[in-house]
Amino acid sequence: MEIGALNKRVTFQKLSITTNENGFDVKAWEDFKTVWAHVTNLHGREYFAAQAVQAEQTVKFTVRYLNNVDTTMRILFKGKSYNITAIDNIKFDNRFLEIKAMEVDISG
C-alpha cells in the first residue's frame, strides 16, 4: 500500500473507568490517537463472509503500524463509532495494520 492512500482521519478511542465522588465506576471513551487511514467497505468474498454472520456493517481500516492498538478499542470515523473485531499486522512487517471493525450506535 502506498502512503498516499492513507487519506482519511480516524481516531482510536479506549474505554477508561474512573470512580466518581460517590464511589461508583464511571465509564467513558477517551481519545487515544488520531491517525491517517485508508477506509474501505468489505467486498467480494469478505462481504459474503460478513453477511453470513450478520456483520454487514463491517469496514476495513488500514493504518500505519501501531503496537498498542487492541480489540478493546473503538474507531471514530465521520461521526460514527466502530468496534474493532480483528487486527492483522500485514505480512508481519510492522508497516501496516489492517483493522476490521463493526459499526455501532454512538451509545455503544
Over residues 35-84, the pLDDT tens digits come to 999 999 865 555 555 555 554 588 999 999 999 999 999 999 999 999 99
* SS3 per-residue string spanning the chain: CCHHHCCEEEEEEEEEEEECCCCCEEEEEEEEEEEEEEEEECCHHHHHHHHHCCCCCEEEEEEECCCCCCCCCEEEECCEEEEEEEEEEHHHCCCEEEEEEEEECCCC
**CATH fold for the domain made of 3-104:** Thrombin, subunit H (2.40.10)
At 55 the pLDDT is: 47
Residue 93 contacts residue 78 (beta carbons within 8 Å): no
- What percent of the chain has a predicted confidence (pLDDT) above 90? 65
Does the pLDDT of residue 87 top 80, yes or no? yes
